[in-house]
Amino acid sequence: MADHIKIRKADGTWVVRSGGAVLGESNNALELSEGDMAPVIYFPRADIAMAFLDASDHTTHCPHKGDASYFHLVNKSATLNNAVWSYEDPLEAVSAIKGHLAFHPGDMITVEQL
C-alpha cells in the first residue's frame, strides 16, 4: 500500500442519509485516510440500500487505488450525480475496499458515526 494511504476498521456504527432516508448503517465500515485529505468512510455494499443508486458511466483513475466506478444517488427530492463511488477491482494494496461504497458528503448527503 502506498505509504500515505491507511485503511482501518471504522470504530462504532456509521450511517449515511440523504433526502430524509437512511441509505445504510454499518458496524463494518472502513476508514481510508490518504495524505492530508479528510478520511473517507467506505460502507460494505451489503449494508447499503442499493435501490437508491443508479450506475453512472463516469469513472476516474487513482494511481494508488485503481479505477473508480460511480453511482447517481436518487432520493425523494433530487438526483445527485456521481455522488457515490466504488473501486470494483482495486489495486492489491487497497483490496480491503473492494465491495465497499463511499459517499460525497455535503448538503444532501450526511455520513456520521452514531
The two beta strands, 14-18 and 30-34, are unpaired
Name the most confidently modeled range: 36-40, 46-50, 104-108. 46-50
The domain ranges of the chain are 5-113
Q: For position 2, what pLDDT does the model report? A: 60
The three-class DSSP label of residue 88 is coil
Whole-structure pTM value: 0.94
Q: Mind listing the pLDDT tens digit for each residue in 11-26?
A: 999 999 998 899 999 9
| Burial state string for 40-78 with b = 16 or more CB within 10 A and e = fewer than 16 | bbbbeeebbeeebbeebeeeeeeeebbebbbbbbbbeee
Q: How does residue 32 score in pLDDT terms, banded at 50, 70 and 90?
A: very high
**What CATH number labels 5-113?**
2.170.150.40
pLDDT of 1 > 60? The answer is: no
The two beta strands, 100-103 and 5-9, are unpaired
The three-class DSSP label of residue 68 is strand
